[in-house]
Amino acid sequence: MSEFRDLAPGITRQRLVVEGYPSFPVSEVHIRTYLHELSQVTGMVPLIPPVTHRSTRYGWAGWIHWETSGAHFYAWDDPLLFFSVDIYTCKPFDPAAVIAFTAAFFAVTSPASIVAKEF
């Protein structure tokens, strides 16, 4: 595979993945509330309310569609309490604000229990 290069430098694209260990099992209500509040933290305009779905095999998933892209959320109860958030936007946002908000929302107990990577 060839080296990644920016094929559309005139189009803003920002990506952030945040993963961590919540202090509680994540429910549908948590996901909907988190994605709604994430919209405010990032300054994005929701086009629809958050959508969720539960797989009996893999756990909860959620998604929100923003005017400037969207975010996906995944939560596991088994084999451990774990979440993964994938944010993709065509409008800049503050990754540090998202990480701090996510850690507080899910009551992450230590800095070692949450990680993030911007692309």
pTM: 0.94
In a domain, 9, yes or no: no
In a domain, 6, yes or no: no
In a domain, 1, yes or no: no
CATH number reported for the structural domain that contains residue 54 in this entry = 3.60.90.10
What percent of the chain is modeled with pLDDT above 90? 92
Query: Could you read off the pLDDT of 60-115 as tens digits, one per residue?
Result: 999 999 999 999 999 999 899 999 999 999 999 999 999 999 999 999 999 999 99
Q: Please count the structural domains in the chain.
A: 1
Give, in order, the Cα–Cα distances in Å from 2 to each of 5, 8, 79.
Answer: 9, 17, 36
In a domain, 64, yes or no: yes
In a domain, 48, yes or no: yes
Identify the domain containing residue 80 by its residue range.
Answer: 14-118
In a domain, 2, yes or no: no
| Strand order from edge to edge, sheet including 82-89 | 51-55, 59-66, 69-76, 82-89, 14-20, 114-118
